[in-house]
Each structure stands twice: as structure tokens, then as C-alpha cells.
Chain A
Amino acid sequence: MSPLLTVENLRIELTTRDGVAPVIDDLSLSLNAGETLSFVGESGCGKSMTALALMGLLPEKIGRVAAGKIIFDGEDITHASPARLREIRGNDISMIFQEPMTSLNPVFSVGEQIAEAIRAHQNLPRKAAWNKAVELLDAVRIPNPKGRAGDYPFQMSGGQRQRAMIAMALACEPKLLIADEPTTALDVTVQAQIFDLLTDLQKQSGAAIILITHDMGAVAEMARDVIVMYAGRKAEYGPVDAIIEHPRHPYTQGLISCVPHIVSDMTEERHDLVEVPGIVPSLKDFGRDECLFASRCQHRTEECMSKRPVEKHFDNNQIADCWHAEEL
């Protein structure tokens, strides 16, 4: 079976005041139908850019796909026409955004916003689309969906809004659902509920999910594979279990040690990132031929400062972009 989504050597460039910066640099991945892949990394590492590129929604005039392919369902969508992309968006690929507070339009009722997504892709009369919207609200476990469909976003809690966003994203039964930090803005208790909901809905619908997060805990629970991103580049890629058990990139180690409950024995050797001087490099340094994490890394050597690390493959399908991956 060929994968639902294949990304090959993707390079996304943003035009900034200081010139052109590769916010995604040479990224490859594949995702099968019904599976979950997770993107992890600090903010600004290019996770959200990848998601926007998949949707064909890179910021106009500023961002562009400079190289590589995004093959979705056998079609390279980096070259798709705007009309074709509109057909795909919300229909085959849909997206849940980070901020349920601001991602719903405040002046339209929630039911209308869901029904609109249905009408955009299916030739349904208004009434039928509305009824389907009510069904979807029920599916995302909003009580009294009939009554609540007429509510405006400001009349809903954060968790309910995110449920409504999920309903909207699932409206046309997409093959791929991209969830960009779906729970970051929510209370901890609500976070768990949303993840449960996503897992259940995925089982029912068979959609593949790309989960973008900086929460390793959520990754461990939801995903099969994980890509750890740093400064626009892949740091590590592979099965979640393998990577949590034995991270082979110092950045991954740092991320995991921040979540002590995942692996208890990791807590002893917490080399916290906060102890390491330096911050995420600024955009203008993104393209450099060196390891971009080197300035924060306690394992760095001459090599790290002078050459970009190459991929190192391991037997358990783990890939790490670090000169010292074998030793770690």
C-alpha cells in the first residue's frame, strides 16, 4: 500500500527583511492512512509552516515552496492550481488550529460555520447541511447540539469551541487531519478530553492525523511516529516508542527530560535546556552549513560547527541528524 502522504526533500522559504530564510530545510516523511504522525519542537521551529504548506496556505508573497514534493493521495500538491487546492482544503485535508478563541469567526453561529464547510464541498441544500452540522456537534460530544448550533463562539467555553473546530474539520470526512497544537490554549483536564475525542474519531473515520505539539506526553499517547524539529530541520524521526526509549539527538533528550513522567529513569540525567546557554537561532542563520543546535549542545565538537549533520539510520527505523548519534 502506498502511503497517503509523502513529503520529499521539502524546502520552504520565507522572505524576511534580512533575506530569504529556509524555515523548512530538506524535510522528508511519509504517513499511511489511519495513522498518526507527530511533529515536536519549540515554537518557531517550522512545525506550523509545514502544516500551512500542506494546506497550500503559506503566507502569500512571503512564503513559498522552494524545492521538494508533497505527494498527497498520488498527487503532487505543490504544483496544484489554487482552484484544485480549494477543492482539497477542508475536504481531503483539513486543519484544527491552536487558538479556539480566535480561530472561529465571532460573528457567525457555530452551526453556520460548520454547515458552510459542508456546503463548500458537497452539493447539499442549506437545511441538510445545517442538520449535518448538528450531527457533527453531537459527534464531538457537545450536549444539546440542536440548541447549541445556533450559538455564537463567544457563548461557548474554550473546550467547546475546540470541539466545534474539530466538528468543522471533520465535516467532509477528510483523509488527513492536521491538528496544530489543538490543546495548548486549553485547561489540562480539557486537553485530555480533546485527545480522547480525536483518538475515538480517528478510529471511526480512519483519517490520518498529523499532530503538531510541543508536548512529548501527548505524543507518547497519540502518535505512532514522531518527527522532532529544530530550527527548520529534522533532528530525529522514527517510531515514538523507540525515540522515547533511546533518543539519539541531544535536543530530543532535552525535550524528553522536560517530561519526567514519560520515562522515570530519565529524570536522573536531566540536562535541562535552560542550563544550556543560547536560544533558538534567528531566522537569518537557518540556512547555515553547521549543526544549528550546536550552540546549545554540550556534546558539540569541531565537526558540529563546520558541517551540517547527515542522516544516520538505525535498525529500529530511527533516523537522527546528529554527528554523535551513535555515541548517544
Chain B
Amino acid sequence: MAHPTRHCLSYKGAMRVNFLLTTSKRVFYAILLLIAVLVLNFSLIHLAPGDVADTISQSMGGADQELLDQIRADYGLDQPFMVQLGRYIGGVLSFDLGYSFFYNMPVTQLIMERLPATLLLVLTAQLLALIIGVLLGVVSARKPNGITSHFVTFLALFGYSAPVFWTGILLLIGFSLKIQLFPVAGMRDVTIDGGFFVQAQDIFMHLMLPMITLASVFLALYSRLSRATMMEVLGSDYVRTAKAKGLTQSQVVYKHALKNALSPVITLAGLQFSAVISGAVLVETVFSWPGLGTLAFQSIIARDTPTILGILFFSALVVIVGNLLTDVALRAVDPRLRGRG
């Protein structure tokens, strides 16, 4: 036939090499993107009126020119722009994001303390939205005029139109003030003492409302898209083939159709990482969740430049890693992508 044996073996080998190449190419691009983020943010902050020295002197209740110069020299602000930028990027590459005068600790340490809370919120919300969204999409695609389908339509409209912080406040009023199911704010109750499971349960209870709030936005997107793709896939030739083989309904739907419908949803979820982080900033503020979002808000108010830069860097990092993971997931789901760039 068209492909002799040796040819297809070498084809598989080529796929593997190609996979490694594209992966390293992607990582390289990711690093370039990160550096670009750094350069842009650093330049912006440099362009803005006022600098760290002004802020510090203000917080000290004013300072004379000599002290200002002293502070500028301490922070290297008297150096030319390119030197400062170079130093900053060099620092970041060795995991040194500078020192926060506002919190009085290294920015890296500060961020590392807050990052887990944000990651927990962002990842669980994404996962919840994906799982429930896909399930709703599948159920409503099988019965396009059923009650689930109408619910998805409603959810899609609500999720898109309701401001996420407002949804959060409504849930807060409903489920921790009126009905006291969940704690009002924070991530853990300091008065609770106990083993791992007690602590985990405590965090889980605190997580519920913020997670549901954040997930609601993306649940809307994912359920609508998976309904649309599922409907398309269920009408496809290969689903007919699967039925013709004598497979059961659930094998046809949850094996053959679902695996095909997943790719577009995963792609969309990958594109949403930046939006999820934006949403997290607002949700964290509503629920006083001790993550990067609340930290960002506080440091912006305090004009704590090194911390702001650090947070921007780390959130871009989270988005980029999220995109890379999305790629991995897509390749796992769709063999056609494994050979391509």
C-alpha cells in the first residue's frame, strides 16, 4: 500500500522527535514571553510619576533631598534605566524579585506565602467549572429541549452577565450570613486546632464559596461550548459507526463522543487562565482570601513597586504554565496533535 513498513516506523520516530522539538520550542517561547512581561512592567513603573523613594519618604512623613538621594542610591534608582532593568531581570532569573519595604520582607518569600492560596482557588475553580460544565453540556446535548438544556442556557447568560464580585457577595449574604453554612472570610480558622484532616476540612469549608463564585463564570462558558460541540459530535459519522457496532448508548456517548468533544473545551479553558486570575483578584477581595489577588490590591494601594512587579510576573507565569499544561492535555486527548507543532 501507500505506506511501506519501514516508512511508518520512521514516521512514528519522527513524531517523537517532533514532539520534543515543539515542546522545547514552546518552553523557549514561554521564557521569552515572561521576559517581555518583565520588561513591559518594569518600563511602565519607571515611566510612572513618582518612585519608591517618594513613596517611602511619604510614609515617613516627608524627607529632605539628601535622604531621598540616599534612598535612591540604596535601591539603585540613581542608575540608568537599562542598568536597572538588567539588574532586575538578572535578579528575577535567580529568583530574587527584590525587597518589599511595605511588608519588610523579600518579595519572593512574600509571594511564595500567598501563591498556594491563589493556586488552590484558581485550580479548583477551573476543575469544578470544567467537570460540571462538560457534564451539563453532555446531558443537555442528548436532550436539546430538555430541562438541563434550558438550565445551561440560563447559566450561560447568568455567568456571562453577572459581575463575579456581585455573585460572590450574593452567595456570601445567602450562605454565610443568612444561612450560616460557610465561614464569612479568610482561608482558615486560627482557633481550630487539630490534625491534617481537621485543617483540610476547615480550608475546604472556607474554599467552597470563593471556588463556586469563581467557577460560576467559567462553568457558563464551558457548559455552553460543550453542549454545542457534543451536539455536533453526536451527529458525526464516527458516532454512527460506533452505534452500528452495537455499542451501548453510554459507550457511544461517554467514550466515542466525549473524547472528541473535549478538545475544544480544553482549548477554551486554556485561553481562560488569564481571565480566571483576574476573576480571582475580585473573588479574593470579596472573601478576604489570602492569595496573590488581595496582596496585589494592597501593594497597589501602598505603591509597593517590587511586590506589584513580582505579582505580575508570577501571574504571567501561572498563565504560561497553564497554557503549557493545556497543550499537554490536548495532546493526551487528540492523537492528531501529537505529531504537529
Contact = CB atoms under 8 A, between A and B. Distances in A.
Given A57-B240, A155-B11, A168 B259 contact: no
Given A86-B248, A143-B4, A154-B335, A103 B237 contact: yes
B336 A159 contact: no
Interface stretch (A87-95, A259-267, A274-282): A87-95
Contacts of B1: 141-143, 157, 159-160
A144 B333 CA distance: 26
Nearest to A87: B246
A144 B240 CA distance: 28
B16 to A, nearest CB: 14
A105 B260 contact: yes
A5 to B, nearest CB: 17
**Taking chain B's interface residues, is the majority helix, strand, or loop, or is none over half, making it mixed?**
helix
Contacts of A87: 246
Contacts of B242: 105
Interface in A139-172: 141-144, 147-148, 151-152, 154-157, 159-160, 165, 168
Given A103-B238, A104-B238, 8 more contacts: A105-B238, A105-B259, A106-B260, A107-B333, A109-B335, A116-B245, A147-B5, A147-B9
B46 interface: no
A89 B304 CA distance: 69
A106 B256 CA distance: 9
A314 interface: no
Interface string A104-118: 111111000000110
A94 B247 CA distance: 12
A103 B333 contact: no
B241 interface: yes
B8 interface: yes
B329 to A, nearest CB: 13
B238 A102 contact: yes
A107 B334 CA distance: 6
A90 B8 contact: no
Interface in B219-264: 236-238, 240-248, 251, 256, 259-260
24 contacts: A57-B240, A86-B246, A89-B244, A89-B246, A90-B245, A94-B245, A97-B240, A102-B238, A105-B256, A105-B259, A106-B260, A107-B259, A107-B334, A116-B247, A117-B246, A142-B1, A143-B1, A148-B8, A152-B336, A157-B1, A157-B3, A160-B3, A168-B241, A168-B245
B245 A152 contact: no
B2 interface: yes
Contacts of B238: 102-106
A117 B11 contact: no
Interface in B43-69: none
B130 to A, nearest CB: 18
B5 A143 contact: yes
Given A86-B248, A90-B244, A154-B335, A102 B4 contact: no
Interface of A: 55, 57, 86-91, 94-95, 97, 99, 102-109, 116-117, 120-121, 141-144, 147-148, 151-152, 154-157, 159-160, 165, 168
A144 B8 contact: yes
Contacts of B251: 120
A286 B4 CA distance: 50
Nearest to A105: B238
Contacts of B2: 157, 159-160
Interface centre among B1, B8, B242, B260 (most CB of A within 10 A): B1
B5 A97 contact: no
B8 A147 contact: yes
Contact of B260 (A88, A91, A107): A107
Contacts of B4: 143
Contacts of A117: 245-246
B85 to A, nearest CB: 46
Contacts of A157: 1-3
Interface in B259-293: 259-260
A146 B88 CA distance: 57
B336 A94 contact: no
B246 A121 contact: yes
Contacts of A147: 5, 8-9
A86 B251 CA distance: 12
Contact of B241 (A86, A88, A103, A148): A103
A122 B2 CA distance: 33
A99 B237 contact: yes
Contacts of B245: 89-90, 94, 116-117, 120, 168
A250 to B, nearest CB: 34
A256 to B, nearest CB: 31
Contacts of B11: 155
Interface in B1-44: 1-5, 8-9, 11
Nearest to B262: A107
